[in-house]
A and B are shown apart, each in its own frame.
Chain A
């Protein structure tokens, strides 16, 4: 199925979970809203395709990091709203710190001189 989704940057394995949890930190959101928020906040660079988003949402729900319920939206539409659970908040913290370690490490590898100065 890979060739069908061409115009996107491949997300690193596991980063989508982090992005979803991070997005939900600001309040409950539906799937479409989450994808729009990620796109907007990344300056239109990250496009989450639905074939990854919905499996991820349902997996996170099964892991009890987020919960979901049906609401009627402002324009009278029934939507499925996801919200962060307490367990999800903890998970977000640990994933964030892991991400920061990772980016630091990668940055260190890419420009070793900087690290020496610091």
Chain B
């Protein structure tokens, strides 16, 4: 096989070879007695067409297609340069489509497709349920298809004794978590079996970043002791920089404290996610079956009955699916939306190419009549489209690379695996494949059309190219398709925007303006002496109230929308849970007196907590309206009683406060909880483990400058106690806005795609109508010469534009009607088939299409009949 650059030599050799053949034939002829001229003539005749022989011989060499392809490419580039306007518009359209697709695909790739960065990730499993330590310890014994590990994310530890105290993000892990993940330490070791049992667990593993920043990459750090949350722990290892679990935020991994004697904590502490690694030969299905079997009897181990709904429908899924969670649906919706944009872009480019093919009709007719095969011409035209798409793809890739960091910043901060998103080879491959496919798709229809010219007619038609009605029909169909996809996307965007608007205008139940929140984060042991704790917080709230500009201030243990919940099982007066169901599980909030007023939460019945209620002498509680309705239907909850599980005394309900969207903007409590109870921050407000909440969030209503206020808060806190850092200060409106960050990200991306689709659709309409007017200039001239008024011409053109649009809108709305239900999971406060939305989209498209056809229509109205008639 020869390569193209060797062809020149070979071509010469072939010519020589055939020449020598001819010469030998001539000299044989002369030998047989013919004259030189005769011999030459007969030799030539016998030989036949030299050029043809050369060509058929060359065909044996291979690489012909490549040569023709390069030829087509060069020719295509020349043609594209000849029509720069067309080329720029088409390339930009494709670049936009390919770029957007590449960017979204890089998200899909990084988050959904790329294997997890752990050893043999396909063996890793996520159990879909959540288990307390006791149940996990039982699972560790009983499950044989896999090795399991549990973890609890979102812990924070004050690191003291080594420079200024800092607050670290940590994850509590069972001892075998690293082994299950197959992770190796950078230095030191990972936890050993048994190092998560009470009394044997005073160890810690550091992240690479923490070791670098806090311990100056000290090579001898392993074996040192540090003080975390008031507890001495020995550093046993440092993980490598690329190890992340469960999220890059984790700075320390601390062993669980598994202690069967601590019944409450053992059976009702953290309900933790569980991961596992399949043992050799085991399958995911086996693991799932084993887990279901385990789940069917684990409830019996608990010291109290567990509700049948707990971990109902449990299964084992691959860890990748488990970690990604519900972002999958969102990403896939975005991917579909952006793919539709690309289809529209293709249709648009195909349309542009068609109008150009009409102009090039003559060139092609000439080539066909000179003997070019149809296949050859189609190949040439498609090569041209692919070339265009290739340039567009390169631009699009640059666009995606530039836009990727922007895209990542739009995504909510808690999006899983965002750090894995990058332009890797898969993304490059995707973009390249997309460019080629795009080129072929947008080029095929026009090429098939253009290669079938009616020769005589085209060649006769003088300087103007002609199109036939078939081409116009195809162009119409393309525009209708384009418009209906755009309608579909705009409908979806309309619904998402409506629901985002509804969500961000939801009444959260409190007044967030001018409220600053500050998390006060002492060590867990700070409240071992509750008296000290109470007086610290009382003093803090009082002193904050006297700061300049502060109008009100209060404390709460779990801030609404703060991302944390506190659960507490309660007995409720005269309320009997259904048989085999557990006691009601409420979200317990410990608040300081004046909280409801400070937060602006309307009070519906009874009274707020007073200072006297914090003493613990009288036990009182306040319910949310929803909770009061649920457990005391048609009665007055005030004066009724409830009791926290594990306490002796009943609390009297003294008031009912309006509902607060505490869990997220849609719900006040998570689905697995039954309501909300407020207790005064005092001896009665004990958590399940019997402790008083140590961490409280200070809310401050103030007109003062935030930075100044923050400074004064920190000063106040440190003047009152040495070890009570203020972890983070956030204005309440910021917290509210963060609560819609996920829908906002999806909505803004989707809307951007819809906007692009709309613009492309309008360009498409404009192109077709302009072409329509151009084609019918002569007809319009005749009509005007015969007395048609400009108004009639306007009507003719607008009618064409509007009828295309109406068909497109009808098809698009039908599709939207069938498909928007896939968005239902993302919608809030609007039905997927909201008629107002559909009507609005229809009107929008009608207006836009009118505008797009008006410009060419005006051109048509100004046609001078005399010029038009002489046009040819």
- List A residues at the B interface (Cβ < 8 Å): 1, 4-5, 30-33, 36, 49-51, 54-55, 57-59, 62, 70, 75, 77-80
Chain A residues with CB under 8 Å of B52's CB are 1, 51
Quick check: B60 and A50 within 8 Å, CB to CB? no
Known: A50-B47, A54-B14, A54-B17. 13 other contacts (CB 8 A): A30-B20, A32-B21, A36-B28, A50-B21, A51-B48, A51-B52, A51-B53, A51-B56, A54-B18, A55-B57, A58-B57, A58-B61, A80-B16
* Cβ–Cβ contact B18 & A5, under 8 A: no
B573 within 8 A of A: no
- Beta-carbon contact of A75 and B53 below 8 Å: no
Q: Does B60 contact A59, Cβ atoms closer than 8 Å?
A: yes
User: How long is the Cα–Cα vector from A75 to B26 in the complex, in angstroms?
Assistant: 13
A2 vs chain B, min Cβ distance (A): 12
Cα–Cα distance between A26 and B21 once the two chains are bound (Å): 20
Q: Is there a chain A Cβ closer than 8 Å to B457's Cβ?
A: no
Contacts of B23 in A (CB 8 A): 77
Beta-carbon contacts of B13-37 to A below 8 Å, as 1s and 0s? 1101110110111011000000000
Instruction: Return A4 CB to nearest CB of chain B, in Å.
Output: 6
Chain A to chain B contacts (Cβ below 8 Å), 18 pairs: A1-B49, A32-B20, A32-B25, A49-B48, A50-B47, A50-B48, A50-B53, A51-B49, A51-B52, A51-B53, A54-B57, A55-B60, A59-B60, A62-B62, A75-B27, A77-B20, A78-B20, A80-B16
* Chain A: CB-nearest residue to B61: A58
Which residue from chain A places its CB closest to the CB of B27 in the assembled complex?
A75
Cα distance, A109 to B16, chains bound together (Å): 46
B424 part of interface (Cβ distance < 8 Å): no
What's the minimum C-beta distance from B9 to chain A, rounded to whole angstroms?
12
State the main secondary structure of chain A at its contact with B: helix
Inter-chain contacts of B17 with A (CB < 8 A): 31, 54, 79-80
Bin chain B's interface residue count: 20 to 34
A30 contacts across to B, CB distance below 8 A: 20-21, 24
Q: Which of the residues A1, A5, A33, A78 comes within 8 Å of B16, measured between beta carbons?
A: A78
Which of B17, B23, B52, B59 has the most C-beta atoms of chain A within 10 angstroms of its own C-beta?
Answer: B17
Which residues from A are CB-within-8-Å of B47?
A: 50
B18 touching A50, Cβ below 8 Å: yes
Shortest Cβ distance from B852 into chain A, in angstroms?
54
Contact B61 A62 (CB under 8 A): yes
Verify if B1 is at the interface (C-beta below 8 Å from A): yes
Whether A4 contacts B49 by the Cβ 8 Å rule is yes
Chain A's nearest CB lies how many Å from the CB of B215? 68
Q: Tell me the complex Cα distance, A33–B21, Å.
A: 9
Q: Which residues of chain B come closer than 8 Å to A70, judged between CB atoms?
A: 13
Q: Closest CB-CB distance, A18 to chain B, in whole Å?
A: 18
Enumerate chain B interface residues (CB-CB to A < 8 A): 1, 13-14, 16-18, 20-21, 23-25, 27-28, 47-49, 52-53, 56-57, 59-62
B-chain residues with CB within 8 Å of residue A79 when the two chains form the complex: 17, 20, 24
Q: Chain A residues near B16: list those with CB within 8 A.
A: 78, 80
In whole angstroms, what is the CA distance A36 to B487 when docked? Answer: 75
What is the distance, in angstroms, from B253's C-beta to the closest C-beta of chain A? 64
Q: How far is the CA of A70 from the CA of B19 in the complex (A)?
A: 14
What CA separation (Å) do A79 and B61 show in the bound complex? 20
What residues of chain A lie closer than 8 Å to B49, measured between beta carbons? 1, 4, 51
Q: Which 10 A-B pairs have the closest CB atoms?
A: A58-B60, A54-B57, A32-B24, A32-B21, A80-B17, A59-B60, A55-B57, A55-B56, A51-B53, A79-B20
Nearest chain A CB to B42 CB, angstrom units: 13
- Bound complex: CA of A78 vs CA of B57, how far in Å? 20
Whether B21 contacts A55 by the Cβ 8 Å rule is: no
Residues of A within 8 A of B57 (CB): 54-55, 57-58
> In the complex, are the beta carbons of A31 and B48 less than 8 A apart?
no
Chain B residue, CB-CB nearest to A36: B28
Counting chain A CB atoms within 10 Å of each CB, which of B16, B53, B60 scores highest?
B60
Chain A residues with Cβ below 8 Å from B24 are 30, 32-33, 77, 79
CA separation between A31 and B14, bound complex, in Å?
A: 11
Q: Is the CB of B13 within 8 A of A80?
A: yes
- Complex: how many Å from CA A50 to CA B56? 10
What is the CA–CA distance of A55 and B59 in the complex, to the nearest angstrom?
A: 8
A55 to B53, CA, bound (A): 8
Is the CB–CB distance between B20 and A62 below 8 Å? Answer: no
Task: Assess the B62–A5 pair: CB atoms within 8 A.
Answer: no
Instruction: Determine which residue in B1, B24, B27, B61 has the highest number of CB atoms from chain A within 10 A of its CB, and name it.
Output: B24
Of residues A4, A33, A55, which shows the largest number of chain B Cβ atoms within 10 Å of its Cβ?
A55
Please tell me if the beta carbons of A5 and B25 are within 8 angstroms of each other in the complex: no
Report chain A residues within 8 Å CB of B56: 51, 54-55
- Which chain B residues border A57 with CB–CB below 8 Å? 57
Closest to A7 in B: B46
Give CA–CA (A5, B47) in the complex, Å.
10
Q: Tell whether, in the assembled complex, residue A62 and residue B60 are in contact, meaning their CB atoms are under 8 Å apart.
A: yes
Residues of B within 8 A of A55 (CB): 56-57, 59-60
Instruction: Give, as a whole number of angstroms, the nearest-CB distance from B357 to chain A.
Output: 32
Nearest Cβ on chain B to A96's Cβ, whole angstroms: 23
| Residues in A neighbouring B59, C-beta threshold 8 A | 55
CB distance from A31 to the nearest CB of B (A): 5
Q: Report yes or no: A62 in contact with B1, Cβ–Cβ below 8 A.
A: yes
What distance in Å separates the Cβ of A87 from its nearest Cβ neighbour in chain B? Answer: 16
Chain A residues, CB < 8 A from B28: 36
Task: Across the interface, name the chain A residue whose C-beta is closest to B43.
Answer: A32
- In the assembled complex, the Cα of A31 lies from the Cα of B23 at a distance in Å of 12
Q: Which residues does chain B contribute within 8 Å of A51, judged by CB atoms?
A: 48-49, 52-53, 56
Whole-angstrom distance between the Cβ of A22 and the nearest chain B Cβ: 20
A87 to B221, CA, bound (A): 71
In the bound complex, CA of A4 to CA of B59 (Å): 20
Chain B's nearest CB lies how many Å from the CB of A52? 8
Q: CA–CA, A4 to B49, complex, Å?
A: 9
Q: How far is the CA of A57 from the CA of B60 in the complex (A)?
A: 9
**Chain B contacts for A59, CB-based, 8 A:** 60
**Min C-beta distance of B733 to chain A, whole Å:** 76
